[in-house]
Amino acid sequence: MKFLSQIPKKNLSGKTVLLRLDLNIQDNELKNSLRLKRSAATIIYLLSNKCSVVILSHKGRPSLAKQGISKSKFLITNKELSLKKISGKLSNIIGQKITFFDSFDFKKTKENILKHPLGEVFMLENLRFNKGEESNSVSFAKKLSSLGDVYINDAFAVSHRSNASVDAITEFLPSYAGLELESEIEAFKKVIGNPPKPLVLVIGGVKISDKIGVIKKFIGKAEWILTGGGVANTFFAAKGIPVGKSVFDKNSLGLAKKWISNKKIVLPDDVIVDGGEILDIGPKTVAHYTKIISSAKTFIWNGPMGMIENAKYQSGTIGLVKAMARSKDFSIVGGGETTSLILNKNLQSNVSFLSVGGGAMLEYLSGKKLPGLEALMRNKKSL
């Protein structure tokens, strides 16, 4: 794989860079978003190297949104899934105007870009408003590629998707991993393979089905798998413990029953219940998990311990972040909600590396090949 950080400055200077970012950010995470911060750092790096930058990104899954269902080539745009607001946010962070294109008229867009002097930043509307993005259409990728001289993937969080702006686009341009993506790859190297032991994995969030691959991969090599959120609720249900109205994953009950006798899987000792729903882990669990985390040399965490979008149910997750300050070696935490809570509470120094990846982190840890990374590895063109 080739990296942006290795491109000689003289080769980069004067180029129009197509920069794939993951700006799929919930409104409530915008204030303190890791994805925005890391994206801004790469844009600033490119501008300081005298490039123009054309940002490519997506938001949500418009093909699934009711308003988005259309038989026409271009899906009906949906205001909530527009990237316009995020482009404003990003522009404030980089301290520079971002010209936003809300249509996919590539000829006009290209003409517009060429009219501007070098060193400007542009952004295309949510690429998933176009059907070709999610179908990894080669012709859509070719049109995208016509807007720049070089392609940079700086979107680890969407690299598990075989989308046109992540995968097929690399057929047309010299393609590199950006600064953010490079830092993710370096961080994951430290936990994949044979990391220092004890190895502790924390798995929370809503759906156990998304985490099965990681649990399977780590059940042999982790000393402990601590559970919270809907994942823990699924194990409770599998044990026959009533979970009331709590979120749990019915489809994963069979697997949960199979794993439940494994001593490495730790369930909460106590939980916070409100209105018949389990909404956080309790103080005894935080104390118990803290003890285990303190002994860890390698620590991996994906998915919050409770319904952290409500400040009332953040104590469990915050408690574990505080515990991490005591863990000795290397820790990695991923997922938009958990990382934005860590940034909001200014606890980032407790963690060695915050990953922007949610689903991508899970797939990477479970040993799957990510199409975005594979595409970069296949690309042989250089600047």
Shortest separation between residue 23's beta carbon and ligand 3PG, angstroms? 8
DSSP run (H or E) holding 376: helix 371-378
What residue type is 117 in one-letter code?
P
Q: Which of residues 147-186 bind ligand 3PG (CB under 6 A)?
A: 157-158, 161
Using CB positions, name the residue nearest to ligand 3PG: 24
Q: Of 202, 322, 219, 326, which Cα lies nearest the Cα of 267?
A: 202
CB 265 within 8 A of CB 227: yes
Q: Strand 277-281 to strand 271-274: parallel, antiparallel, or no bridges (unpaired)? A: antiparallel
Two structure tokens written together for 171: 């057929």
Q: Which of residues 5-34 bind ligand 3PG (CB under 6 A)?
A: 22, 24
CB-based contacts of 305, cutoff 8 Å, min separation 6: 204, 228, 229, 280, 281, 316, 317, 319, 320
Shortest separation between residue 176's beta carbon and ligand 3PG, angstroms? 20
Shortest separation between residue 120's beta carbon and ligand 3PG, angstroms? 26
Shortest separation between residue 163's beta carbon and ligand 3PG, angstroms? 8
- In angstroms, the CA 38 to CA 175 distance is 19
* Residue 14: active-site member: no
* Residue 359: active-site member: yes
Applying CB under 6 A, does 363 fall inside the site for ligand 3PG? no
Q: Which of residues 97-126 bind ligand 3PG (CB under 6 A)?
A: none
User: E strands along 52-127, which residues?
Assistant: 52-56, 98-101, 121-124
List the x/- string, 311-350, binding to ligand 3PG by CB under 6 A.
----------------------------------------
CB 193 within 8 A of CB 218: no
* Residue 193: active-site member: no
Which of 359, 374, 377, 381 binds ligand 3PG (CB under 6 A)? It is 359
Applying CB under 6 A, does 239 fall inside the site for ligand 3PG? no
The residues that bridge with 130 in the sheet, in sequence order, are 74
124 vs 278, beta carbon nearer ligand 3PG: 124
Applying CB under 6 A, does 378 fall inside the site for ligand 3PG? no
Applying CB under 6 A, does 61 fall inside the site for ligand 3PG? yes
- Whether the bond between 371 and the residue before it is cis, its omega within 30 degrees of 0, is no
Which of 358, 364, 375, 379 binds ligand 3PG (CB under 6 A)? It is 358
DSSP run (H or E) holding 175: strand 175-177
36 vs 51, beta carbon nearer ligand 3PG: 36
12 vs 356, beta carbon nearer ligand 3PG: 356
Shortest separation between residue 29's beta carbon and ligand 3PG, angstroms? 10
Cβ neighbour number for residue 139 with a 10 Å cutoff? 10
CB 94 within 8 A of CB 119: no
CA distances from residue 43 to 77, 94, 150 in whole angstroms, order as listed: 26, 8, 14
- Selecting among 50, 110, 197, 207, the annotated active-site residue is 207
Phi/psi for 148 (5° steps) reads -150, 180
Shortest separation between residue 209's beta carbon and ligand 3PG, angstroms? 13
- Selecting among 336, 357, 358, 372, the annotated active-site residue is 336
* Residue 68: active-site member: no
Burial class for 8, CB neighbours closer than 10 Å (0-12, 13-18, 19+): exposed
Q: Residue written as tokens 């975005």?
A: 372
Shortest separation between residue 90's beta carbon and ligand 3PG, angstroms? 15
Binding footprint of ligand 3PG on the chain (CB under 6 A): 22, 24, 61, 157-158, 161, 358-359
Residues designated catalytic: 35, 207, 336, 359
